[in-house]
Amino acid sequence: MVATNEGNSYPTLMRQLADTPWDLLILILPSDLPDSPVVRDHVRGPHLICGGAPAYIPDWVKGEQREAAEMYLHFLVLHCEAS
Q: What is the pLDDT of residues 43-73, one digit of tens each?
A: 888 888 888 889 999 888 999 999 999 999 9
- Least Cα distance to 56 among 13, 83, 81, 22 occurs for 22
User: Which range of residues forms the domain containing residue 69?
Assistant: 10-79
Question: What pTM was estimated for this model as a whole?
Answer: 0.75
1 inside domain: no
2 inside domain: no
The answer to which of 16-20, 38-42, 51-55 has the lowest mean pLDDT is 16-20
3 inside domain: no
Domain count, the chain: 1
- Which pLDDT does position 65 carry in this prediction? 92
73 inside domain: yes
- Catalogue the long-range contacts made by 41-45 (C-beta closer than 8 Å, 24 or more residues apart): none
